[in-house]
Amino acid sequence: MHRNTADGRLSRRGVLALGLTIVPVLSGCTSSPAIDGASRVTPSPEPPPPPLPGLDAGLAAESTALAWCDAISAKGYELSAGLTANLPGITEVHRRHLLALQLPDPPARPTGTPSAGLDPQAGSVDLGSDDARKAATRMAAAFGEVATTHRRAAVGAEGAPARFWASLAAAAAQSQRLVPRTHAHPRLAEEKPHAPLEVPEPAAALGELLVQTHALVYGCQVALTGVSGKAAESTVARLDSARRLRDDVTDALRVLDADVPAAAGAYEVEVPTDDGGTRTLVRSMENALLPYVGAAISAVSDQALRTRLVDALIERTRVGIDLGGRPLRWPGLPG
């Protein structure tokens, strides 16, 4: 409900909230002023966004990634069951990235395939006499190089571009992990309309990330109850990694002299009873963390901290794949 002012009129905020427009009253005028059509001023079009830093290198990297997908698919290899199942998703991810990089504002990444005359032309890859195994090994290495290129761009950028490049780096690292997998992963989810990449305040973004990291630490601790042996060792390693991220984010908040959210006493999680339950629990919590890491990447100005967060996004995206998770088109981005 909007409060009235003392003389019974709605406040300015109330008027705007109701979708109305405040029109200034011209002193001495009793009727609407005449408008001379010849004197109308056409609003200037908004200038296009500045070129994305690192664009040329990013285009070349994604062109190479897509070229590998096309070449290994067209060669006629008898690929492993895992790569046969996962290759269409890998290809779609890098085709979408290459299309987005051809747009005036790549971080906007419109949903679906852009149709404004864009053509995701891939480069070329000479497989020569490589057998299927050697070609797959080279392909995985190429994705690693793509991830390195995008990581470099993310570390050197700020704001939304830093988050965008970090997402592409994590996706390339995801593809590198998927190539040698021996089993099929879930297919890509349907692509929903994307939310805009808003850049939050550093303290707010880091505070929300810390809240989520506290939950991840708790989840990893709970997950240990359902595993033993090598599975337990892997879970312990992920717990240690989550704790390091928690400590780094805590330190960053203290440098900002900002509030440091404390961990809750407990979180509602289903206690796993076997390895499958453990993988599901940790994977779901790792994936839930990614957008918060991405938001923090765009918010921070300290390059050392941004580097740490970019590496965290890449690492945690890989963990999702290692635990059998669904590949993501845009790790760390909303929508």
Whether the predicted pLDDT of 24 surpasses 90: no
pLDDT > 70: percent of the chain: 82
Q: What is the pLDDT of residue 226?
A: 77
- Which of 8-17, 118-127, 184-193, 270-279 shows the lowest per-residue confidence on average (mean pLDDT)? 8-17
Q: Is the pLDDT of residue 30 over 50?
A: no
Mean pLDDT of 18-27: 35
Mean pLDDT (whole number) for 77-94 = 96
Least confident of 137-141, 268-272, 288-292, 327-331: 268-272
Q: Across-strand partners of 9?
A: none
Does the pLDDT of residue 3 top 50, yes or no?
no
* Position 87, amino acid: L
Look at residue 265 in the predicted model and tell me its pLDDT.
85
Q: Say if CB 157 and CB 51 are below 8 A apart.
A: no
- Whether 276 has a pLDDT exceeding 50, the answer reads yes
Please state, in angstroms and rounded to a whole number, the distance separating the CA atoms of residues 236 and 221: 8
Most confidently modeled range among 190-199, 228-237, 317-326? 317-326
* pLDDT at residue 111 greater than cutoff 80: no
> Please, which residues have CB within 8 angstroms of residue 57's CB and are 6 or more apart in sequence?
149, 152, 153
Q: Is 10 helix (H, G, I), strand (E, B) or coil?
A: strand
Q: What is the mean pLDDT of residues 232-256?
A: 96
| 128-143 mean pLDDT | 96
Alpha-carbon radius of gyration of the chain: 25
- 146 pLDDT higher than 50: yes
Mean pLDDT of 249-259: 98
Percent of the chain with pLDDT over 90: 67
* Mean pLDDT calculated for residue range 19-33: 38
Tell me: pLDDT of 7 over 70. Answer: no
Give residue 13's pLDDT. Answer: 35
Least confident of 28-37, 44-53, 147-156, 324-333: 28-37
The answer to whether residue 222 scores a pLDDT higher than 80 is yes
- pLDDT higher than 80, residue 46: no
pLDDT for position 103 = 87
CA–CA dist 40, 287 (Å, integer): 53
> Mean pLDDT score of the chain, rounded to an integer?
85
Residues 89, 93, 94, 99: what is their CA dihedral angle, to the nearest 10 degrees? 130
Give residue 57's pLDDT: 95
Least reliable range by pLDDT among 78-87, 107-116, 167-176: 107-116
CB 135: neighbour CB atoms within 10 A?
22
pLDDT class of 12 with cuts at 50, 70, 90: very low
Q: How confident is the model at residue 17 (pLDDT cuts 50, 70, 90)?
A: very low
Helix 132-156 crosses helix 55-74 at what angle (to 10 degrees)?
160
Q: Which of 294, 268, 292, 285 is nearest to 323 (CA)?
A: 285
